[in-house]
Chains A and B, each alone.
Chain A
Amino acid sequence: MLSCSLISKLSSRSVGQRSLALSFCFVPFPTTALLCVFLFHCLSRSFLSRSFLSSFFQMCFSTLPFVPSLDQQPLQAMSTKARRRLMRDFKRLQDDPPAGVSGAPTDNNIMVWNAVIFGPEGTPFEDGTFKLSLEFTENYPNRPPTVKFVSQMFHPNVYADGGICLDILQNRWSPTYDVAAILTSIQSLLDEPNPNSPANSAAAQLYQENKREYEKKVKAIVEASWLE
């Protein structure tokens, strides 16, 4: 039942997008990306709970934008270096998606992206589906984007407003990083926090002094991530 509704939703979405002359190249994206995401989860879980699946679909359809509507933007604005580079970041994410992360520009603005990071297997964050937003400026890739967790997060290096304390997004940013590199770095930060420069001191303290309680709090935000 569920997979049927998934396919029908996808195909109606794809047909709708085909009318956008400039974006027809991206039609396979929703299908392939979602299938990857779906397969990733099938592989990482032996059993998929009903509530998890439904919240998962809800999340995909409500946040993943599928296709940037290129025809809504003047072509001239598309051709700045930052925008051209973001198109290539997007193409790379489609053609060669890293495991457990996914992202795409929002419907009408290539400078603002939504992304999802899956909690790495074998960590307290396992099974979490964490949403993030990425905001780029015309200085990209000379300057990093502003990246924030939209989903609730409990982590020593994540501020209350979702802001992330990660060196490569700040003083160690390199213009050779792309969106795929950013998302995979954040994914590895989840299980490799740096408690010495805490953005959330409660999380840092629990991480160092009471792992059991720390994992309990993390489990709570993992479950919360399914319901968003």
Chain B
Amino acid sequence: MASSAYSDFDVIAQEERVRDEIAASSELVSDPLPTSVLLDEYKENKDAFRDKLKDVTSKYDSFRRVRGDGNCFYRAFGFALLQQILHRGTEEQARKLYQQAVASKALLVAQGYTEYTIEDFYDSYVEVIALATGFPKPPAAYDYSTGIPVPVQQDANSEPPKQLPWPLTAQERALRESNLLAIFRDDPVASAVVYYLRLLTAGHFKTNAEFFQGFIEDGLTVSEFCAREVEVMARECEQVHIVALSAALDVPVRVVYTDSSDSTSQATEINFQEEGTAAPTVSLLYRPGHYDILYAR
């Protein structure tokens, strides 16, 4: 058996280089751009793909690019959702999202995750949720001031956290949006938020294992599938992940699909939502292998 000239470590180093190159050349979340930019980008294309993009530009006037690092769906969905709640969410939607976030850690622990290994991701997630929903950030569960983790005793009689008067003032929203964007562009924290969205997705798979088992191929169990395809950073997602995250957050999402198949000249829109719920307010653009955020006209 001849030993291969390249070890796994060479392959990994190569992958890291590619990732670093992508990181150097694109922001995690860009500023909004007019959708006409997309048409310019594909000037040379004369096929159905460009027709579909034309269709997209007629319905959506701007978009944000999201870095193509395998986490783009989670990142795009996360940022678009928080921005939407902050600007157009009802008081009830905001409160629900906040309470669901605070309760989520216990649910994940009940699914078998070790609490301290998910703690930092949870902290980053509730921080952005609090920003978008007008709630104060919940107190940290552990005190590290001596370098040694000590659990913080929560006062059972303390008042429940108060939401700011809703809707927030235009000035407050602008400030919070720029803070959100800063966090989504600041890598260690941004990755933590994205990773927590992966955990929420995996948690939903596991809670509804019987339902999802039918969608999983290669004879994997739901847990094995999560360990391979969900809990690993940079692993791209499929439609079943979108179903799971949308259901986990109870937030409908629309994905506008564009590709070069010429059966139609229109982009295909798929709404991921429970029957009988209101139309999605978060829209994502799909180009083969990649998701960006879309804003309707």
Chain A positions within 8 Å of B, measured between CB atoms, are 22, 25, 70, 75, 78-79, 81, 84-85, 87-88, 91-92, 139, 141-142, 159, 163, 165, 170-178, 197-199, 201, 204-205
Contact = CB atoms under 8 A, between A and B. Distances in A.
A171 B117 CA distance: 19
B149 A91 contact: yes
Contacts of B192: 142
Contacts, number: 80
Interface residues of B, number: 31
Given A163-B9, A170-B12, A178-B117, A78 B188 contact: no
A88 B191 contact: no
Contacts of A197: 8
Contacts of B227: 172, 174
A75 B144 CA distance: 10
Nearest to B188: A81
Contacts of A175: 117, 121, 195, 231, 233
Q: In terms of DSSP, what is the predominant structure of the interface of chain B? A: helix
Contact of A173 (B117, B188, B199, B232): B232
B125 to A, nearest CB: 13
Contacts of A91: 148-149
Interface string B133-155: 00000000000101111000000
A172 B220 CA distance: 15
B277 interface: no
B265 to A, nearest CB: 39
B1 interface: yes
A52 to B, nearest CB: 34
By CB atoms of chain A within 10 A, which of B144, B146, B147, B231 has the most? Answer: B147
Given A171-B15, A176-B231, 17 more contacts: A22-B147, A22-B148, A79-B144, A88-B116, A91-B148, A91-B149, A142-B188, A159-B7, A165-B8, A171-B232, A173-B233, A175-B117, A176-B113, A176-B114, A178-B117, A201-B1, A201-B2
B148 A87 contact: yes
B221 to A, nearest CB: 15
A84 B144 contact: yes
A11 B120 CA distance: 36
B144 A174 contact: no
